[in-house]
Amino acid sequence: MGLEEKLPDGVLLTTVEGLVNWTRKSSLWPVQFGLACCAIEMMAFGGPRFDSARFGMEVFRASPRQADLMIVAGRLSQKMAPVLRQIYDQMPEPRWVLAMGVCASSGGMFNNYAIVQGVDHVVPVDMYLPGCPPRPEMLIDAVLKLHHKIMNEPLGPKRAAKLADKQVELIPSSYKYAK
C-alpha cells in the first residue's frame, strides 16, 4: 500500500524534476535546420500524416532564441559548421541536439574533406538517428527516446555539472585532417 492510495481523488505526487522535465519534453520546439535530403523526411514529420503536433512540437521556429531542439537533418559542410555552431549558441538552455541520418551522425558516405564527419565535432549531440534517409517514423522513435532521456535529466546545478563535460570546441578541418 502506498501513500497515493490514502490521498483523495485528484491529488498526484511527483518530484519537481519530474514535473519540470515533463513540461520540457512535452513542448520541444525545433529550430529549422534542414541541410540536405533528410530535411524532406523531417518536413513530413511535421505534416498531418505523421503529425508532430501530437508531441507538442509542430512549431518549427525560425529563430534559435525560440527553440530548444536542433534536429540536424542532412550532411554538414565545413563551410556551414560555424553557422550551425552559432545558431546552437543562440539557443537558450535547456537545449538538445538530434543528429538525423547517417550523414549528420558520422559523415556517412561523404568521407571527404568537404563534409564534417559527424556534427558532434561541432555541437554536443543528445540523440543519433541512423538511416539514409531515416523515415519519419524513425524520427518519431528518436524523439520519443529523447523524451525518455529528458525525463531522467537532473535540474539546476546538477544539470550544469553534467553538461560541463559535454562542451565541444569547433575543430578546424585543417587541424582534424592533419592528424
Distance separating alpha carbons of residues 19 and 38, to the nearest angstrom: 33
By the rule CB under 6 A, 132 interacts with ligand SF4: yes
Q: Which stretch binds ligand SF4 (CB under 6 A): 20-28, 36-44, 78-86, 120-128?
A: 36-44
From candidates 31, 38, 84, 99, binder to ligand SF4 by CB under 6 A? 38
By the rule CB under 6 A, 136 interacts with ligand SF4: no
Q: Which is nearer to ligand SF4, 20 or 43 (CB)?
A: 43
Write the DSSP symbol of residue 148.
H
Say which residues have a Cβ less than 8 Å from residue 42's Cβ, sequence separation at least 6: 34, 71, 73, 100, 136, 139
By the rule CB under 6 A, 75 interacts with ligand SF4: yes
Contact indicator for 70, 96 with CB cutoff of 8 Å: yes
By the rule CB under 6 A, 101 interacts with ligand SF4: yes
By the rule CB under 6 A, 119 interacts with ligand SF4: no
Distance separating alpha carbons of residues 42 and 46, to the nearest angstrom: 7
Q: Which residues bind ligand SF4 (CB under 6 A)?
A: 36-38, 74-75, 101-103, 108, 132-133
